[in-house]
Chain A
Amino acid sequence: MISLLKRLFLIIFINFIDQNFALLFSKIFIIIPLTFLAFSFYVYKSDKNISSLEAFSFGFFVDLISDSYFGLNTIIFCLTTYLINQNANSFKLFSYLQICLFFGLSASAYVGFSQLIVNLYDFSYTTLLLSLFANIIFCFVVALVASYYPQRLSIKL
């Protein structure tokens, strides 16, 4: 129960940062979905498979707190969870670069999908492309920080 509350508060906090950073980065056509990346990181780091119900619930909760359409985050969270669960063992063979590329690509896929739903008439390939690079770089930075300060980032969830 405490662990669940901890995760919910963490999601709320990251979503709050996400929304504030989105305002800042939108001026330079970049979207970094921090909430999505945090959830993906949680699924990736988890010792056991994350259930579809948990992914659905988290997605639904993120939809609620981020005031987006119900189902938007739900679908992507479920899909990402399935992909990570499916390839959890394969990731162990991957290098950091490959994992970063995977997460960067999935983040830009999230951006593309959400832009298609919420911003169809103003869909921008510039945003998508810049977000792709920005997300991959962001994942690299996180991976670098994590490799240099492994204890700091080994958050027990």
Chain B
Amino acid sequence: MKILVAVKRVIDYNVQVRVKEDGTGVVTENVKMSTNPPDDNAIEEAVKIKESGKAKEIVAITVGEDKAQETVRKALAVGADRGIHIKVDGTIEPLAVSKILQKIVDKEKPDLIFMGKQAIDDDCNQTGQMLAALLNWPQATFASKIEVKDKSLEVTREVDEGLETIEVNIPAIVTCDLRLNEPRYASLPNIMKAKKKPIEQINGSELGIDIKPRIEQIKVEEPPKRKAGIKVASVAELVQKLKNEAKVI
């Protein structure tokens, strides 16, 4: 079995994101970037499945500028076998990423595709679903547990009501939740070995796909600042304020 894992380079989750003064986006200059956290869970799960003997090869793929390769390199350091980097500059939307992945799937013919449930930068939560539609494959989103059966997967999903367990036939797409596993650390020797693993570079423009953005971004701004709270002396005062000032009761 072959698993394709899609990873994305995003602003590190510890960094306080700052909106550009002119409202055209957020500041990425001099900002620490990392792999999108649930993508780490996707890689970890693929590696676990390979370690259990149920998969033969893990291919990590990313779409983005030159530096996005770092995320593939990190995936290689924790157990992916080889990498693919689709070089694209500028904004790239989930639909475009799905189309690119579809092309690569046609070529690579994986049995499973894993990725994070959504990216922490744009929070779209679309790529997995769109890819499933394009490929006409079954999908299991928000996976917090994956069991590999003979020709199917049993996937526990994190849904609003609680947990939902479904079975999907292979080939399938799974988008991973943070609860799925605890990603391992890359060890020094593995980081060194990863430097020697191959990353195939493909220029996005050579795939013959229309990857133009479909969404026009009008403005990016910070959420309004929360007003400072006040202390009330009694329950009566609280009720009075909720009624007359906040007008919520």
Q: Check if A and B associate.
A: no
Residues of B within 8 A of A (CB): none
Residues of A within 8 A of B (CB): none
